[in-house]
Amino acid sequence: MVFNRMYARTPTPLFLTDDYLTGTVAKENNQSEKNNMEFFLDTGDVDEIRAAAAWGIVDGVTTNPSLIAKTGRSQKEVITEIIDIVDGPISAEVISTHKDGMLQEARQLAQIHENVIIKLPLTEDGISACGILSTEEIKTNVTLCFSANQALLAAKNGATYVSPFIGRLDDVGHDGMDLIEDIRTIYDNYGYATEILAASIRHPTHVRTAALMGADVATMPYKVMKNLFSNPLTDRGLEIFLADHARVN
Ligand code: G3P
């Protein structure tokens, strides 16, 4: 794996002109102008979402049918409750496998709230539905992405987000981060505005590497987000500061 830091988030052409520096070129390339890596929680558990939201770093939430099933509640009920907790993009996945069914579900889900993002599987029907929904200005998250070519298809049909599954690639002996790097390069080559949402994140190192690669968003379980804070040197350093303060006060 090579960290392609120079390429990450850099629009082509690579000339350091005033236009480039003031962002005009970025606009012309339809390049996302965001300069913030967003953190989404990957869960349907509203207690976890409330706890993490208190940290002030949760920008959105992703769910999938497995995560919703764990709650024992309906998707609509869970999504509606999440919307009241987090004011940001909330991904809700369709169940249909055929385009017409996907479109019907997507339009219903989109009516719940403007923050609802329609999660579609990276299949022929899913990509086709993505193209139609993007003309209706319904935001989409194309999920179950395991290759750069699949990510290219999602961008070509106007996906708002693409979700490469890093952890599941690692599970079968690949390096999921190579995929993030490839997608970043391809999207920057053509100025696609589709955001790279690093998904299936299993540990803090995935978050760090996704940030180095220039992923726009990292979605992670509550446990991983909580672990981002922790470092034994911080704990030990604080103990020493407090002990020193207590000795003279
Ligand atoms: O929400 C999609 C993705 O993040 C699933 O992760 O851990 O089930 O591979 P995981």
Which domains, and CATH codes, for the chain?
Answer: 38-247 (3.20.20.70)
Q: Three-class SS of residue 133? A: helix
Summarised one tens digit per residue, pLDDT across range 73-115 is 999 999 999 999 999 999 999 999 999 999 999 999 999 999 9
- Amino acid at site 101: G
Judged by phi (left if over 0) then psi (alpha if -120 to 50, else beta), residue 113 lies in beta
Q: Quote the pLDDT of residue 35.
A: 84
191 close to ligand 1 (CB < 6 Angstrom): no
Summarised one tens digit per residue, pLDDT across range 194-237 is 999 999 999 999 999 999 999 999 999 999 999 999 999 999 99
Average pLDDT, stretch 134-155? 98
Residue 242: pLDDT over 70: yes
At residue 41, what are phi and psi to the nearest 5 degrees? -90, 135
In which band, very low, low, confident or very high, does the pLDDT at 30 lie, cut at 50, 70 and 90? very low
Atom 8 of ligand 1, nearest CA residue:
200
Atom 10 of ligand 1, nearest CA residue:
200
- Rg of the chain over all Cα atoms, to the nearest angstrom: 20
Catalytic residue IDs: 119
What distance in angstroms lies between residue 64's CA and the mean position of ligand 1's atoms? 8
62 close to ligand 1 (CB < 6 Angstrom): yes
What distance in angstroms lies between residue 135's CA and the mean position of ligand 1's atoms? 28
156 close to ligand 1 (CB < 6 Angstrom): no
DSSP secondary structure, 222-236, as one string: HHHHHHTT--HHHHH
What distance in angstroms lies between residue 199's CA and the mean position of ligand 1's atoms? 6
187 close to ligand 1 (CB < 6 Angstrom): no
150 close to ligand 1 (CB < 6 Angstrom): no
DSSP secondary structure, 200-228, as one string: S--SHHHHHHHHHHT-SEEEE-HHHHHHT
In which band, very low, low, confident or very high, does the pLDDT at 69 lie, cut at 50, 70 and 90? very high
Query: Token pair 């794996």 is at which residue?
Result: 1
What are the tokens at 225?
């987000």
Average pLDDT, stretch 121-133? 98
Could you identify the atom of ligand 1 that is nearest to the CA of residue 91? Answer: 1
Query: Token pair 């968003």 is at which residue?
Result: 217
What are the tokens at 170?
């690692």
Question: For residues 201 and 33, which has the higher predicted lDDT (pLDDT)?
Answer: 201
Average pLDDT, the chain: 90
What distance in angstroms lies between residue 222's CA and the mean position of ligand 1's atoms? 12
Atom 6 of ligand 1, nearest CA residue:
200
Q: Quote the pLDDT of residue 33.
A: 61
In which band, very low, low, confident or very high, does the pLDDT at 5 lie, cut at 50, 70 and 90? very low
> Among 45, 64, 66, which is best to mutate for testing ligand 1, by the most ligand atoms less than 8 A from CB?
64
What distance in angstroms lies between residue 26's CA and the mean position of ligand 1's atoms? 31
Could you identify the atom of ligand 1 that is nearest to the CA of residue 202? Answer: 7
Q: Three-class SS of residue 102? A: helix
Summarised one tens digit per residue, pLDDT across range 175-187 is 999 999 999 999 9
Q: Quote the pLDDT of residue 141.
A: 98
What are the tokens at 72?
């024992």
Average pLDDT, stretch 164-172? 98
Picking from 214, 226, 144, 149, the residue whose alpha carbon sits closest to that of residue 177 is 214
Q: Quote the pLDDT of residue 125.
A: 98
Q: Quote the pLDDT of residue 34.
A: 66
Residue 52: pLDDT over 60: yes
